């Protein structure tokens, strides 16, 4: 049972480059989330999705885009990477928000030079 899988696990980019982070879940969950985690801070929500074909902005959406074309996948895109986007990115999914904890992947460590 894989749960939530994030790829890649590590990546180094140059400023201005673009890339896509992939999150895949095999639990048939409706809700999926992208967070970033910086030193000394908790998890901050970037974007989320309440179902296939839907997305919504979270707390820190600027500089990121997302897509949920398939229920099991949630993609996070950086169109033009900036050093301020150096962070650890976590994906999570849940069947419902209330009374149901989120399941997390092990993160993507992204460095922007």
Interface with another protein (CB under 8 A): 4, 31, 33, 35, 40-45, 48, 50, 56, 58, 90, 92, 97-99, 101-107
Tally of CA atoms within 13 A in the half-sphere of 14 that contains its CB: 0
| Angle value at C-alpha 67, between 47 and 56, nearest 5 degrees | 35
Output the smallest distance, CB 76 to another protein, in A. 15
> Based on CB atoms, which residue is closest to another protein, 75 or 107?
107
Nearer to another protein, 19 or 50 (CB): 50
Closest to another protein by CB, 22 or 45: 45
Q: How far is the C-alpha of 50 from the C-alpha of 24, rounded, in Å? A: 15
In whole angstroms, give the CA distance from residue 11 to residue 109. Answer: 6
CA distance 59 to 77: 16
Shortest distance in whole angstroms from residue 9 CB to another protein: 10
CA distances to 68, 73, 83, 84, 87 from 113, in Å: 28, 28, 6, 10, 12
**CB of residue 31 to another protein, shortest distance in Å:** 7
Q: Please identify, using beta-carbon distances, which residue of 92 and 112 lies nearer to another protein.
A: 92
Min dist. Cβ of residue 26 to another protein (A): 15
């Amino acid at each position: 049972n894989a749960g939530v899988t994030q790829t890649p696990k590590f990546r180094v980019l140059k400023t201005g480059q673009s890339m896509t982070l992939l999150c895949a879940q095999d639990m048939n969950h409706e809700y999926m989330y992208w967070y970033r985690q910086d030193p000394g801070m908790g998890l901050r929500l970037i974007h989320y999705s309440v179902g296939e074909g839907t997305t919504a902005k979270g707390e820190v959406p600027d500089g990121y885009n997302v897509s949920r074309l398939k229920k099991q996948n949630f993609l996070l895109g950086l169109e033009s990477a900036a050093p301020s986007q150096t962070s650890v990115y976590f994906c999570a999914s849940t069947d419902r928000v209330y009374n149901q904890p989120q399941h997390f992947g092990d993160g993507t460590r992204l460095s922007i030079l």
